[in-house]
Amino acid sequence: MTKSRTRSVIWFQGAGCTGCSISLMNSEYPDIQNLLLDELVPGTGLAFRFHATLMGPTGRPALEVLERIPEAQAGEYFLVVEGAIPTAEDGRFGMVGEVPMAERVRALAQKAVAVVALGTCAAYGGIPAGTPNPSGCLGTGAFFRKEGIEVPVVNVPGCPPHPRWFVETMVHLLLFGLPRPEELDEVGRLKSVYQGLIHENCPRRADFDVGRFASAFGQPGCLYELGCKGPYTDSHCPFQRWNGGVNWCIGAGHPCIGCCEPEFPDGMSPFYRKFTAEEAKASYRRNR
Ligand code: FSX
Ligand code: SF4
């Protein structure tokens, strides 16, 4: 069904790998064509006004959208940030149209109705902010706190995030408006989209409970001894699975690396080493 009403989205890419966009293009229900062209909730669809990977225009006509929409639709559009914000050296590690990403995001955020920080890089800094972080990358929320920008931020982490987590978050925003504080967890994610430790819903949990652990890749059993971070990671991967529900990391025999958590990647590393008791306690405490 075509859209009778639209809400504009400016999708701004900072420091990342574009995997968040690629993941969204794998969306199934709705598929990417439906998402771009049709209603997302009854009567309303999203209008992607700027998306460097998907849009046709380039150069000045494309960049002008970044100035036009905030003026024409102040307080109405959603800003989706993908990737972290480089802040070192006056932001010169990341430029879009010869303007630092940090400056672009500052201007775009101030007139948005809400910001969706999509992907772990945008939500918490992620890989670009990993030690030693020479470009001074920050997650969106941390960048706004540093800059004194007060705009509601909803985090949609994952490296990359599952397409459903973006879709479900946007549906929530369109149907119910900005999340109430009790609808968000302590790291800014919608509880309805993320809550539930992987460890609580894992098909290998019965192996964990009886102490049947894989000691090498390819073996059956729980992957805890191989470094699985499922006990410290909230996400719906076990029942949504990936690539159209075909499989997911643990289903393919790979330990969870905790990519939806603020500690990723430094605090979830080394990926193939079991956490010490102290590391486990610290991560578990924050998660609960
Ligand atoms: Fe980050 Fe997006 Fe990881 Fe990549 O651009 S969440 S590096 S999968 O895709 O920002
Ligand atoms: Fe928990 Fe990971 Fe073992 Fe699954 S594989 S039961 S998430 S430790």
Determine whether the shortest distance from the Cβ of 120 to ligand 1 is under 6 A.
yes
Q: What is the pLDDT of residue 4?
A: 77
- Catalytic residue status for 17: yes
* Mean pLDDT of all residues belonging to the chain: 96
pLDDT on residue 277: 86
pLDDT of residue 283: 79
Q: Which of 210, 223, 237 to mutate to test the pocket of ligand 2 (most atoms within 8 A of CB)?
A: 223
Q: Confirm or reject: Cβ of 256 under 6 Å from ligand 2.
A: yes
Return the structure tokens found at 148. Answer: 């004194």
Tokens for 140? 């969106």
Predicted local distance difference test score (pLDDT) of residue 282: 81
Tell me the domains of the chain and their CATH numbers: 5-193 (3.40.50.700), 198-283 (4.10.480.10)
Q: Name the residue among 33, 50, 23, 284 with its Cα closest to residue 165.
A: 23
**pLDDT for position 288:** 54
Tell me which H or E stretch contains 104.
helix 101-110
CA distance 156 to 122: 9
Angle between helices 101-110 and 140-147 (to 10 degrees): 80
- The percentage of residues in the chain with a pLDDT greater than 90, rounded to a whole number, is 94
HEC string for 9-31: EEEEECECCCHHHHHHHCCCCCC
Q: Give yes or no for a contact between 181 and 140, defined as CB atoms under 8 angstroms apart.
A: no
Residue among 137, 202, 236, 260 flagged as catalytic:
202
Is the distance from CB of 138 to CB of 85 less than 8 angstroms?
Answer: yes
Structure confidence by residue, pLDDT tens digits, 75-92: 999 999 999 999 999 999
Instruction: For Cα atoms 35, 179, 241, give the angle at the middle one, nearest 5 degrees.
Output: 50
Average pLDDT over residues 248-264: 97
Q: In whole angstroms, give the CA distance from residue 124 to residue 138.
A: 7
Ligand 1 center from residue 211 Cα (angstroms): 35
pLDDT digits (tens, 9 = 90+) for 174-183: 999 999 999 9
Spatial distance between the Cα atoms of 182 and 184, rounded to a whole number of angstroms: 5
Ligand 1 centroid distance, CA of 138 (Å): 13
**Helix/strand/coil for 236:** coil
pLDDT band at 286 (very low <50, low <70, confident <90, very high): low
pLDDT category of residue 261 using cuts at 50, 70 and 90? very high
Global pTM reads 0.96
pLDDT in tens, 142-176: 999 999 999 999 999 999 999 999 999 999 999 99
Residue 287 scores a pLDDT above 70: no
User: Alpha-carbon distance 169 to 189, whole Å?
Assistant: 9
List the structure tokens of 173.
Answer: 């925003």
